[in-house]
């Protein structure tokens, strides 16, 4: 089902009310659409200001602004440490490959969630590592985000060859309808798609689609600005070193710290070696957004699941014994379960200080 809204550019009322409210989660869709599994459609007389915003935006991560006139344009708001953004990439890459020479121009708008994602060099490295080769804007001040009235990652905006906004969605999923809309807009523009098949799109590793039916754990932030469900008594100490003792037990979706940590606004930084973070979750996958120390040296870490090595349940960034290495500021997949999903307690212990823990995400 498609929800119809006459939104002009996007929606002036939405723009005024929402500002830069952001959510790196599928649930962000519910704030935008009556049916969170549909693509909302803009009215056919929507104004062409979207293209003006994109053409005037700066900086582009590689080269200059692409030519958008006469193109069907898909705008994707994303940020490279967000699991929800990462799970959308196989579809964006496939659409770019299928339809780029048929008149489609994908534009990524990288709107950072964490401070390290403001660094263009880190974003360029991430886009290269992730195989994102369509043009990308670095939207550090959220100017494009606000102009579009976007609400979360990933955001998708569909613009026809006349520059009119024809559909939008905030959140993951419903990719078949999205591709159908792309094909509709290209056909309207006179492009022959008879030779372009609709083969399935494979997603693997950290980009594999979540096991939504088993997902019982929301994103957890570690920095005090958004921290919730901390298991120790009271709140984490703000901007000051403190030695934390782990809780005697963890309830589902709660977490704790062990060792000496300084909890900052966005992250917790380990002050001495052998500190750990622990969390209890219910999902197939568990990830952590981690940052390397200021000295740039790698940090080894070890993951255990319910006190044991993960074995076959290790993630793409850990081995069967649970070992992994933090070298870059990014998302790390710690666990991928197989078979029945039950509540698990995961512990991540770090071998040296300086590592920064930002958030825990699941899938």
Architecture of domain 212-362: Sandwich (2.60)
The whole-angstrom separation of Cα 146 and Cα 151 is: 9
The stretches of 119-173 forming alpha helices (DSSP H) are: 120-129, 143-148
- Whole-number pLDDT of residue 64: 80
pLDDT (tens digit per residue) in 117-165:
999 999 999 999 999 999 999 999 999 999 999 999 999 999 999 999 9
The predicted-structure confidence for 259-273, as pLDDT tens digits, reads as follows 999 999 999 999 999
Residue 29 has pLDDT above 70, yes or no: no
d(CA 112, CA 141): 9
pTM here is: 0.89
Can you tell me the distance from the alpha carbon of 319 to that of 271, in angstroms, rounded to the nearest whole number? 26
Q: What is the pLDDT of residues 47-75, one digit of tens each?
A: 458 888 998 899 999 878 899 999 999 99
CATH 3.20.20.80 fits 4-207, yes or no: no
Token pair 């000051």: residue: 240
> How many Å apart are CA 268 and CA 58, to the nearest integer?
32
Domain ranges of the chain: 4-207, 212-362
> Measured in whole angstroms, how far is the alpha carbon of residue 122 from the centre of its chain?
15
Distance CA(319)–CA(115), nearest Å, equals: 29
pLDDT tens-digit profile of 345-363?
999 999 999 999 999 999 9
pLDDT band for position 195 (cuts 50, 70, 90): very high
84-121 pLDDT, tens digit per residue, is 999 999 999 999 999 999 999 999 999 999 999 999 99
28 has pLDDT over 50: no
């Amino acid at each position: 089902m498609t929800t119809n809204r006459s939104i002009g550019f996007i929606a002036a009322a939405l723009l005024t009310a929402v500002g830069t409210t952001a959510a790196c989660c599928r649930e962000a869709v519910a704030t935008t659409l009556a049916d969170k599994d549909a693509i909302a459609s803009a009215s056919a007389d929507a104004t062409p200001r979207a293209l003006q915003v994109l053409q005037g935006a700066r900086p582009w991560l590689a080269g200059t602004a692409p030519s958008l006139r006469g193109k069907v344009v898909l705008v994707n708001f994303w940020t490279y440490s967000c699991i929800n953004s990462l799970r959308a990439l196989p579809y964006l890459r496939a659409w770019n490959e299928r339809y780029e020479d048929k008149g489609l121009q994908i534009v990524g708008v990288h709107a950072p969630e964490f401070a390290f994602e403001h660094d263009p060099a880190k974003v360029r490295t991430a886009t290269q590592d992730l195989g994102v080769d369509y043009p990308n804007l670095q939207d550090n001040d959220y100017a494009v985000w606000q102009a579009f009235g976007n609400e979360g990652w990933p955001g998708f905006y569909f613009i026809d060859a006349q520059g009119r906004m024809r559909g939008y969605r905030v959140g993951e999923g419903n990719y078949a309808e999205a591709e159908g809309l792309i094909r509709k807009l290209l056909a309207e523009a006179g492009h022959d798609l008879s030779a372009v098949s609709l083969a399935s799109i494979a997603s693997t590793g950290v980009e594999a689609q979540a096991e939504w039916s088993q997902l019982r754990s929301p994103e957890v932030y570690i920095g005090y600005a958004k921290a919730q469900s901390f298991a120790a008594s009271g709140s984490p100490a703000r901007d000051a070193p403190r030695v934390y003792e782990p809780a005697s037990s963890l309830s589902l979706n709660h977490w704790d710290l062990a060792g000496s940590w300084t909890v900052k606004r966005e992250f917790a930084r380990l002050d001495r070696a052998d500190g750990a973070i622990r969390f209890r979750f219910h999902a197939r996958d568990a990830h952590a957004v981690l940052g390397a120390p200021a000295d740039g040296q790698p940090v080894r870490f070890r993951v255990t699941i319910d006190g044991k090595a993960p074995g076959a349940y290790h993630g793409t960034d850990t081995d069967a014994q649970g070992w992994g290495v933090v070298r870059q500021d990014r998302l790390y997949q710690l666990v991928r379960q197989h078979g029945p999903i039950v509540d698990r307690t995961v512990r991540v212990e770090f071998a040296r200080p300086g590592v920064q823990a930002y958030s825990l995400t699941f899938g």
